[in-house]
Amino acid sequence: MSLLEMTLDAPRLLEMQPLLRVNNLCKNYGGIRALENVSLHVYPGEVLGIVGESGSGKSTVLRLLNLEEPETSGTYQLEIPELLGQNLFELNRFQKRETRVHHIGIVYQNPHLGLRMHKSSSGNVAERLILAGEKRFAELRRAARESLQASEFPIARMDEPPIHLSGGMQQRVQLAKAIAMKPKLLLLDEPTTGLDVSVQALVLDTLKRLQFELEMTMILVSHDLGVIRTLADRVMVMRGGRVVESGLTDQVLEDPQHAYTQQLVHAKL
Amino acid sequence: MKLSELAFERQDYAYAFLDEFAKRELRRKILKAIAIPGYQVPYASREVPMARGWGTGGLQVSLALVGVNDTVKVIDQGDDDSVNAANLRRFIARMTGVKTTTDTLAASLIQSRHRIPEELLNERQVLVLQVPMPEILSSIEPSYARAREMHSDGDYALLWLGLYEDLVKYREVSYGADYPVLVNGRYVMAPSPIPRFDTPKLHQAAHLTLLSAGREKRLYAVPPYTDVYPLEFEDVPFQIEDQRGWRDASTGAAGKFMSEIPQDGGGSSYQLSDTGLKQKLERQMAGEEIEIGATYFDDDTNFYITGFLKGAS
Amino acid sequence: MAYVAARGGEEAIQNSEGLYRILNGDLTRQNIRAIERHMPYLVDRVMGEGSLYAPELAALALAQTGGDLYEAVLLLRAYRSTQPRLFYALPISSETTMVVRRISAAFKDIPGGQILGPTLDYSHRVLRLEALETDSIQAPKLETKNAAPSSYPKLTDWQREVGLLAGELEPAVQTSREVAALPDITREPPIYPAPRAQRLQALARADTGGILTLGYSNMRGYGGIHPTVNEVRLAYAEVQLEHPITGAVFSAGRVRVSSAEVVTPFSSGKTPPELSLGFAACLGWNETKLIAAAMLDVAMSLQDPHPAHQEEFVLSHTEPVEASGFCIHYKLPHYVTFSSDLDRVRKAQAGGSLELELEAVGV
């Protein structure tokens, strides 16, 4: 950690514990090293952006944080009462599912990964509550409506299946599903990539408002520095499975230190 | 003295058809099924002289259990005289020599397809249900290997989501027969395609129910006095078939499951699906002294366990 | 056996079976013998799928069912269920069988030579109408020239030697005790993924038509494999038993067996690549089924979501007795389940019982 970073982060570090701690995360696919000693700490209510080109490992980080895939090595902790001191990678299949349902929300770039395209949109959201054990139909309706409304989804269409909806609306359904259980951690994998610029701006507005209202910690993966600049407090730059630079967003994007970050920023400009 | 005088007369087939190794396997698997209510126990499932899908699973269980003192009743759609029921009954009798009956009260072993009799079964009776598709998850997860994982995780969210979707789309749950039930608080089970009317009869029942799918090679059990709850939202109660106002054309009986018979020129008439009961009622009407047992549902379709069915039909 | 009063249903059953028998004519020993002698490939197929090698019983099953294959297979299977298992025979290896036909498409010639043997492969498929006009057409007489070798080497041995086929061979099962310890699909339920022994047993008993359909879908391109037939063998094998007391080995008879092997390049998923081997064998001679089955054997080992590459899909849907039985079971009355469905349809048609408001959003 650079000297500059420490001084800037110091007040917060003194006050709070990080919500999320990942240390020395490594991931191999066959003989290929996809992640090499990635460590990150994210604080409550903070938005961490991860940037990098395709193949840099940024989406792999999210999949591992969502407990979808086994790690090769490393530890992962969330500062949540019932999970204190627990390395989440060591949970069994059942506990991992419980943790995902209650504490982690995710929005994928490809809505097919996150949604049941032929079930109703409200049902997609309600499924999170079903998984958490909710057995009252009226409560499922209420909660689905509330989440969809919070995501600024047009409620009149809440029972239409996502397959009939536009890309922007599909992302709003994913978002509603992700926040249905009011998780502490929200993972966003290129949530606005592929949307029209105007729609993209609206979805980003919604995200920003929700993050503020629900005090969620967010990790946002994007190759779009504009998106990162809009949402992220801090940014982490990845290349070839390694973290090459990290720091406050303004600082990294205004004054990149690493040659690769400089390239990224200038390419953008 | 000749050897042939000492030995039993040669018969082409063993008692109850199956060889003893097959029966032993079945009995062991049945015990396991009873020990883990609602859990599907895989078994080898031998071929028997009926086509697969025609009750071979139920038949194997019946053949493994039937003793010389048993009295066997076989029904299909509630009907003792249905050709397939008659065929199975004929086979069991031919291979064992046991008595057969159409009277639920007189039967010690009842094999059935799609129905549970109307008269209360007791602790000394065994009900064997024929099962076409034992895997309740097969409509949402066709791979048995994956479905087994979901059962082990108790992961039934997609079934609940199915109920939610039905309610949103139709304002009704669309499951007809074979309504999913939670057994002993652990496994969700296909009760075989019995109508929803028969589903509550499994809850805290005095008798042992064995369910067996020959083609899919799975058997499972609801032991006596076990909780069996249909999947239902707390605020959208499970409903049995609405047959209010349906009366048996010949006996006037009501509150029992009826077969609807379309009539020329529109309209329908109704017949008791339980033909054993129907016969007894008819004989009683003819003045015969005959014992009719207590029934699960009274004439106004009230279930014998008060409060179990929350929803009106 | 006790007397059971015939009721309406039982009488109907007896009459319908009677009608069937009248249409099919008398069951005579002569007819059964004729089927056994003159329709060996049909008898083979019934025995293979019935998994019971008994030509006389298979011929009886065919005669008794008027040639309905699925019914005949079911008869053999059901008969098999009544028979206790008293002994395990010694394993049959392809080196010790008496091979009458053995061909390879992989090389022009192979160690041991190509043996064309009995086949219609290169005959003209013309109906021999003259047979309708004469009493009989004699089978040709062929002169024997040189004695056949007692065994043929396996092509896979050569391929292993030169490094084309990798992978260690599992030690061959040798004693009847080892045979008895193998997983057995007739004694244990299949659990997927299936042990290899169960997969090969399921293929051996599988429906010829079903295997051909799925195998053909692979051949036509619904699959990533490009197989070459390594070897197809038709043979006679001695069934050898160990005397339970003396341990002496004796022959219980001779059975017809067949096997097929295919090899495919680049489907092992390994770098550098090596050939993958697919294998299938069955009782009786049934080349078409085995070539398709051997291809499916390779396909089922691929990590590919296509149904014809999924072991559970292939094996559970090509089981002849189960598939045919379930298909015809739809003829059984279903009026209880149907009325239960109707109840739901009527309720939903009437608008449903749930009050689902699209609550207060002004829709």
pLDDT tens, position by position, A50-91: 998 888 999 999 999 999 999 999 999 999 999 999 999 999
Q: Among all residues of chain A, which has the CA nearest to that of B153?
A: A94
What are chain B's domains? 20-230 (3.40.50.11310)
Chain B residues with CB-CB distance to A123 below 8 A: 161, 164-165, 168
- The pLDDT confidence band at residue B205, using thresholds 50, 70 and 90, is very high
- The pLDDT confidence band at residue C1, using thresholds 50, 70 and 90, is very low
**Percent of chain C's residues with pLDDT above 90:** 57
- The pLDDT confidence band at residue C181, using thresholds 50, 70 and 90, is very high
Does A267 have pLDDT greater than 90? no
pLDDT of residue A91: 95
pLDDT digits over C36-72, tens only? 999 999 999 999 999 999 999 999 999 999 999 999 9
Most confident range, picked from A4-13, A152-161, C13-22: A152-161
- The pLDDT confidence band at residue C361, using thresholds 50, 70 and 90, is very low
Mean pLDDT confidence for C317-337: 93
- With CB atoms and an 8 Å threshold, state whether A119 touches B160: no
Flag whether residue C363 sits within 8 Å of chain A, measured between CB atoms: yes
- The pLDDT confidence band at residue A198, using thresholds 50, 70 and 90, is confident
Chain C residues with CB-CB distance to A145 below 8 A: 359
Quick check: helix, strand or coil at residue B259? Answer: strand
C80 φψ region: left (φ > 0), alpha (ψ -120 to 50), beta (else): alpha
Q: Which amino acid is at C196?
A: R
- The pLDDT confidence band at residue A264, using thresholds 50, 70 and 90, is confident
Does C200 have pLDDT greater than 90? yes
Does C82 have pLDDT greater than 90? no
Quick check: helix, strand or coil at residue C261? Answer: strand
Does A164 have pLDDT greater than 90? yes
pLDDT of residue C3: 36
Mean pLDDT confidence for B296-303: 95
A122-181 residues touching B, CB cutoff 8 A: 122-123, 126-127, 130-131, 135-138, 140, 159
Residue A131: C-alpha distances to residues A112, B161, B232 (Å): 19, 10, 15
CA distance A67 to chain B (A): 16
pLDDT of residue A12: 56
The pair of structure tokens assigned to B52 is 């697969």
Does A269 have pLDDT greater than 70? no
Chain A residues with CB-CB distance to C358 below 8 A: 155-156, 158-159
| Torsion sign across C-alpha atoms A156, A162, A164, A166 | positive
Mean pLDDT for all residues in chain A: 90
Chains in contact with A, where contact requires at least 3 CB pairs less than 8 Å apart: B, C
Distance CA B256, CA B244 (A): 10
pLDDT of residue B143: 87
Mean pLDDT confidence for C27-35: 96
To test the contact with chain B by mutation, choose from A102, A131, A164 the residue with the greatest count of B C-beta atoms within 10 A, namely A131
Among partner residues C84, C329, C344, which is closest to B54 by beta-carbon distance? C329
- With CB atoms and an 8 Å threshold, state whether A156 touches C359: no
Mean pLDDT confidence for C101-130: 91
pLDDT of residue C84: 83
Chain A residues with CB-CB distance to B169 below 8 A: 120, 159
The pair of structure tokens assigned to C190 is 């299949």
pLDDT digits over B238-253, tens only? 999 999 999 999 999 9
CA distance A156 to chain C (A): 6
Residue ranges of domains in chain C? 11-80, 94-118+150-324
Give B128 or C270, the one with higher predicted confidence.
Answer: B128
- With CB atoms and an 8 Å threshold, state whether B235 touches A127: no
- With CB atoms and an 8 Å threshold, state whether A119 touches B165: yes
To test the contact with chain B by mutation, choose from A137, A159, A164 the residue with the greatest count of B C-beta atoms within 10 A, namely A137
pLDDT digits over C213-240, tens only? 999 998 887 776 788 999 999 999 999 9
Residues 6 or more apart in contact with residue C178 via CB below 8 angstroms: C91
CA distance C332 to chain B (A): 8
pLDDT of residue C352: 79
Within 10 Å of residue B227's Cβ, how many Cβ atoms?
A: 15
Q: Which amino acid is at B215?
A: R
Chain B residues with CB-CB distance to C312 below 8 A: 143-145
| Beta-bridge partners for C239 | C253
Q: State the burial class of residue B200 (Cβ atoms within 10 Å of its Cβ: 0-12, 13-18, 19+).
A: buried
Distance CA C155, CA C157 (A): 5
A77-106 residues touching B, CB cutoff 8 A: 93-94, 97
To test the contact with chain C by mutation, choose from B46, B96, B167, B172 the residue with the greatest count of C C-beta atoms within 10 A, namely B172
In contact, B310 and B264? CB cutoff 8 Å: no
pLDDT digits over B3-48, tens only? 778 887 777 788 999 988 899 999 999 999 999 999 999 999 999 9
CA distance B265 to chain C (A): 20
Q: Among all residues of chain A, which has the CA nearest to that of C358?
A: A156
* CB pairs B-C closer than 8 Å: 189
Distance CA B88, CA B94 (A): 10
Flag whether residue C84 sits within 8 Å of chain B, measured between CB atoms: yes
Does C151 have pLDDT greater than 90? no
- With CB atoms and an 8 Å threshold, state whether B236 touches A97: no
Chains in contact with B, where contact requires at least 3 CB pairs less than 8 Å apart: A, C
- With CB atoms and an 8 Å threshold, state whether C361 touches A155: yes
Flag whether residue C5 sits within 8 Å of chain A, measured between CB atoms: no
Does A199 have pLDDT greater than 60? yes
- With CB atoms and an 8 Å threshold, state whether A137 touches B169: no
Report the 3 state secondary structure along chain A: CCHHHHHHHHHHHHHCCCCEEEEEEEEEECCEEEEEEEEEEECCCCEEEEECCCCCCHHHHHHHHCCCCCCCEEEEEECCHHHCCCCHHHCCHHHHHHHHHHHEEEECCCHHHHCCCCCCHHHHHHHHHHHCCCCCHHHHHHHHHHHHHHCCCCHHHCCCCHHHCCHHHHHHHHHHHHHCCCCCEEEEECCCCCCCHHHHHHHHHHHHHHHHHHCCEEEEECCCHHHHHHHCCEEEEEECCEEEEEEEHHHHHHCCCCHHHHHHHHHHC
